[in-house]
A and B are shown apart, each in its own frame.
Chain A
Amino acid sequence: MNFHPLNRGRRLLRAGAAAALALGLFTAAVARAELNVVATMPDLGALAEAVGAGKVKVTSLARPTEDAHFVTAKPSFIRVLNRADVLIEGGAELEVGWLPPLVEGARNREIIPGGSRRVDASKGLQLLDVPTGPVDRSQGHVHAAGNAHYLLDPVRAGESAGNITEAFARLDPANAAAYRAALESFRAELAKKLPAWEARLKPFAGAKVVTYHKSFDYLLDRFGLEFVGTIEPKPGVEPSPTHINALVPQLREQGVRLILIEEHRPTKTPQYVAEKAGAKLIVLPHFPGSHRASETYLEWMDHLVIELADALKQP
């Protein structure tokens, strides 16, 4: 046998080239198999899963339990965004405090603002709280585009899913029919569940509710509960003891029954307010994915409605 080192080297080279080619083909095949979707927040991620028809791989940047206004801009996100085929953003400036430098670092020219692979999930939606009068930052951190927590409304979620679907269909035409079919079935399920949700909360129509931040307005608005105000005096401004002491008698007077807070809020102040005002405090998951029972969008909405109804049922 000829084991001349040169020949061996050549053989190795040939084998290496073949392996590299195989690997290249394999990765190309994998890359074509699914769209690599990055959603800034878990609710957008859940919608992407719902309309993705199993043809997309979804990564959500913000964790379901955290405050999506202030996500740590981990460098690992730069790598994730670098490989993203699609970036889905809320479109109402919620991520403005952490997303821009990540996108700038990612060197993915299609996902920069205005890029063909960047999806604004709020496109075409009517948002609440769009400021009409003169506003400045003395009124707290008001989002000029309107209240960004719109996916807490299942009707708007159905519309928003359409934006995501159209982007998927455009960027992956081979699976366009599958995405559209998934959207139709998602909307059909929403249409089926909506009357059930409404029926469950109907007995409590007009119940007065206070939230910590303006996070649950869409949910309350959809199901006929009355949003009375927030514990924080202005968006993003922590309440002072003076403010709390002035707030409690007002809430008592108005007969506020529920205080809603997101999972990331410290409970101490809201608990105090609830006790003093004779209201009930409940902690609601502000995103899907924080509990095993609310992984998908529909499960999450189920969970929210049940929690609200249960809390309002008690005297």
Chain B
Amino acid sequence: MKSKTMLGVSSALCLGTLPLAAQEATDLEQLKKQLQDMQNKFEQTVRDQREQIEALEQQIEGLKQAPVPATNNAPVSATPAAVADTVDDSRWKLTDPIRIGDRRNAYMDIGLVGSFVAGGSTADDIAGGTQLGGHDPNQNGFTVQGIEANFTGAVDPYFRGTANLLFAIDGEGETFTEVEEAWLETVSLPWNLKVRAGQLFTEFGRHNPTHVHSWDFVDTPLVNGRFLGADGLRNPGGFVSWLAPTPFYSELFLGIQNSHGVTAASFRAPEEGEEGHHHGGGSEVPFAYRHPDNDRGLNTVSDLLFTPRYVLSFDLTDTQTLLLGGSAAFGPNNVGAAGDTRTEIYGADLTWKWTSPKQTGGFPFVKWQSEVMWRNTDVGAFDWDEDGDGLVGDEEIADLDTGLPALMAAETLHDFGFYTQIVYGFRPGWTFGVRYDWLDRDDGAYEMRNLAFEGEALGRDPLRNARWRVSPALTWYPTEFSKLRLQYNHDDRRDIGVDHSVWLQFEFILGAHAAHKF
């Protein structure tokens, strides 16, 4: 289809040139004239420059002959510091972050984070079942959550660049890589603006834009896994953010990204398991029991994903800080005919943190963080009689009431969920936290029908079904560069039941380590 379009476009271009043939002579004259003008200008520039060089050379000669003027006409303050006493900081030392360039010329900082988890679960479907995150534990035994390389540095006076390349091993032992993030960001735009562009996490809520090593728990919150996807909502694109001139901190983000690709769950992500992606889906039946229609690129502006966020923060007291945010994501989804069905996700988040006025190493502290999300998904009408024979064939959903392939009506589905977590740093290096996850939805009309797939009756959509989870976790940070975490998950899924999981996470950081944000 793509090649056909290309052919069309190129032939249109060829046809377009034919009527112009008559004008060719005059055009040629104009081109010649332009070329002549350009040449004249160029020659003039060269002449000017030669004159400037000669003038400068004369100045240099003059300066050479003049006596050296005294430079210390401004009295330097009388400090006891002698020149010999100054710190020689040009030398690279082994304690410096691993760097391309020395201390004075830091071209790039390199850091490496390795996160692993060991443990087990009573669930048969860990990856994509009890665990919805792509970097969550994916099997009984050991899981490589990610070996994440970070490269960061100033690009030039105008930009800062960073890239996070992640390596991991899936449940089948296959190593896969992810370009988690790779973007450049402006550092000197006026009017308190900032632009970030490249491959990036969407600024949606608190958890989504974070990397594995900064999580307070072993795994992704369920609401993030279900609404924003196993890997979090991240895609090529960019955002502009504005630091508002309010009496408190507040920032507005406007993001635009592609709405297709495996990291655009809830939008135009391909079917789970397709395209060699390693994060297992929870169900073999497609979303809302429809095949995804994803066979298109970008045709109109409305095919893009739009993600606004507004966040504000103020200090309640000297020791307490509150941060409130509202986020949204709007874009087309893959469960309707091209472009006619859309998904909206809304999120609200609250973070409160208390830090002791006498904190040592950041301890003791208490941090409470919660996010709630709503999702409205349009699903298009869909006829399961894909081969058109009027009979229920292989891989076709049957309507048991009629005995015919199911005819799905268009509808809008409503899902919602939240997580809330509290982490108490009770002594230097030690934290104890509890997280509660909860997901539910309004029944879709398609779930209330008498449908079957390959002889098995279908009920509620497992990808939307109600569930909750509670997770206590104890973490020890021997230093800020290593971490050990023990977590228990009590999972309760409607129509599936209760599962118990215990995970022990261990992590190390080498080289440059990004400072902690709030």
Q: State the CA gap A264–B428 with chains docked (Å).
A: 11
A19 CB-CB contact with B under 8 Å: no
In the bound complex, do residue B429 and residue A238 qualify as a contact, i.e. CB atoms below 8 Å apart? yes
A192 CB-CB contact with B under 8 Å: no
Q: State the CA gap A35–B314 with chains docked (Å).
A: 24
Interface residues of A in 3-45 (CB under 8 A from B): none
Q: State the CA gap A18–B318 with chains docked (Å).
A: 38
Q: State the CA gap A109–B315 with chains docked (Å).
A: 25
B495 to chain A, nearest CB (A): 42
Other-chain residue from A99, A113, A180, A264 in contact with B360 (beta carbon distance below 8 A): A264
A195 CB-CB contact with B under 8 Å: no
Other-chain residue from A65, A74, A155, A238 in contact with B518 (beta carbon distance below 8 A): A74
Which B-chain residue is minimally distant from A83 (CB atoms)?
B245
Known: A98-B516, A101-B517, A130-B87. A75 touches B321 (CB 8 A): yes
- Interface residues of chain B: helix, strand, loop or mixed (majority): loop
A92 to chain B, nearest CB (A): 9
In the bound complex, do residue A79 and residue B249 qualify as a contact, i.e. CB atoms below 8 Å apart? yes
A112 CB-CB contact with B under 8 Å: yes
Contact with B along A152-184 (1 / 0, CB 8 A): 000100110010011000000000000010011
In the bound complex, do residue A141 and residue B353 qualify as a contact, i.e. CB atoms below 8 Å apart? no
Known: A82-B243, A126-B87. A162 touches B360 (CB 8 A): no
B357 CB-CB contact with A under 8 Å: yes
In the bound complex, do residue B355 and residue A236 qualify as a contact, i.e. CB atoms below 8 Å apart? no
In the bound complex, do residue B515 and residue A125 qualify as a contact, i.e. CB atoms below 8 Å apart? no
Question: Which residues on A sit within 8 Å (CB–CB) of B77?
Answer: 162, 165-166, 180, 183-184
Known: A75-B313, A145-B87. A263 touches B358 (CB 8 A): yes
Q: Which of A70, A146, A159 has the most chain B CB atoms closer than 10 A to its own CB?
A: A70
Question: Which residues on B sit within 8 Å (CB–CB) of A141?
Answer: 479-480
In the bound complex, do residue A137 and residue B518 qualify as a contact, i.e. CB atoms below 8 Å apart? no
Q: State the CA gap A134–B79 with chains docked (Å).
A: 32
In the bound complex, do residue B243 and residue A78 qualify as a contact, i.e. CB atoms below 8 Å apart? yes
In the bound complex, do residue A72 and residue B80 qualify as a contact, i.e. CB atoms below 8 Å apart? no
In the bound complex, do residue A67 and residue B359 qualify as a contact, i.e. CB atoms below 8 Å apart? yes
B86 CB-CB contact with A under 8 Å: yes
Question: Which residues on A sit within 8 Å (CB–CB) of B86?
Answer: 124-126
A249 CB-CB contact with B under 8 Å: no
Question: Which residues on B sit within 8 Å (CB–CB) of A146?
Answer: 87
A299 CB-CB contact with B under 8 Å: no
B29 CB-CB contact with A under 8 Å: no
A253 CB-CB contact with B under 8 Å: no
Which range holds the interface residue count of chain A? Answer: 35 or more
Q: State the CA gap A65–B318 with chains docked (Å).
A: 12
In the bound complex, do residue A124 and residue B359 qualify as a contact, i.e. CB atoms below 8 Å apart? no
Other-chain residue from A66, A112, A127 in contact with B359 (beta carbon distance below 8 A): A66
Q: Which of B187, B360, B429, B479 has the most chain A CB atoms closer than 10 A to its own CB?
A: B360
Q: State the CA gap A290–B249 with chains docked (Å).
A: 26
Known: A69-B361, A126-B81. A101 touches B313 (CB 8 A): no
In the bound complex, do residue A73 and residue B516 qualify as a contact, i.e. CB atoms below 8 Å apart? yes
Interface residues of A in 178-207 (CB under 8 A from B): 180, 183-184, 187
Which A-chain residue is minimally distant from B362 (CB atoms)?
A70
Known: A73-B515, A109-B188, A142-B95. A67 touches B362 (CB 8 A): yes
A163 to chain B, nearest CB (A): 9
Question: Which residues on A sit within 8 Å (CB–CB) of B154?
Answer: 113
Count of B interface residues, CB-CB < 8 Å: 56
Q: State the CA gap A76–B353 with chains docked (Å).
A: 13
* Interface segment, one of B117-125, B189-197, B215-223, B295-303: B189-197
A96 CB-CB contact with B under 8 Å: yes
Interface residues of A in 34-88 (CB under 8 A from B): 63, 65-67, 69-70, 72-76, 78-79, 82
Contact with B along A110-145 (1 / 0, CB 8 A): 001100000000101111001100111100111111
Question: Which residues on B sit within 8 Å (CB–CB) of A82?
Answer: 192, 243
In the bound complex, do residue B85 and residue A126 qualify as a contact, i.e. CB atoms below 8 Å apart? yes
Known: A126-B87, A142-B95. A66 touches B358 (CB 8 A): yes
Q: State the CA gap A78–B518 with chains docked (Å).
A: 11
Other-chain residue from A96, A109, A237 in contact with B515 (beta carbon distance below 8 A): A96
Question: Which residues on B sit within 8 Å (CB–CB) of A307?
Answer: none
Q: State the CA gap A197–B517 with chains docked (Å).
A: 41
A243 CB-CB contact with B under 8 Å: no
Question: Which residues on B sit within 8 Å (CB–CB) of A74?
Answer: 313, 315, 321, 518
Contact with A along B500-518 (1 / 0, CB 8 A): 0000000000000011111
Contact with A along B298-335 (1 / 0, CB 8 A): 00000000000001011100100101000000000000
In the bound complex, do residue B249 and residue A75 qualify as a contact, i.e. CB atoms below 8 Å apart? yes
B443 CB-CB contact with A under 8 Å: no
Q: State the CA gap A136–B356 with chains docked (Å).
A: 31
In the bound complex, do residue A79 and residue B248 qualify as a contact, i.e. CB atoms below 8 Å apart? yes
A86 to chain B, nearest CB (A): 18
Q: Which of A75, A82, A96, A125 has the most chain B CB atoms closer than 10 A to its own CB?
A: A75
B31 CB-CB contact with A under 8 Å: no
In the bound complex, do residue B359 and residue A70 qualify as a contact, i.e. CB atoms below 8 Å apart? yes
Which B-chain residue is minimally distant from A72 (CB atoms)?
B355
A302 CB-CB contact with B under 8 Å: no
Q: Please give 9 more A-B residue pairs, beta carbons under 8 A apart, in addition to A124-B79, A264-B359, A266-B427.
A: A66-B356, A70-B362, A76-B315, A97-B480, A101-B516, A101-B517, A125-B86, A140-B479, A183-B77
3 closest A-B pairs (Cβ-Cβ)?
A75-B313, A70-B362, A144-B95
Interface residues in chain A, defined as those with a beta carbon under 8 Å from any beta carbon in chain B: 63, 65-67, 69-70, 72-76, 78-79, 82, 96-101, 104-107, 109, 112-113, 122, 124-127, 130-131, 134-137, 140-146, 155, 158-159, 162, 165-166, 180, 183-184, 187, 236-238, 263-266
11 example contacts (A-B, Cβ-Cβ < 8 A) are as follows A66-B357, A72-B365, A74-B315, A74-B518, A79-B243, A96-B515, A107-B192, A112-B187, A136-B94, A159-B79, A183-B77
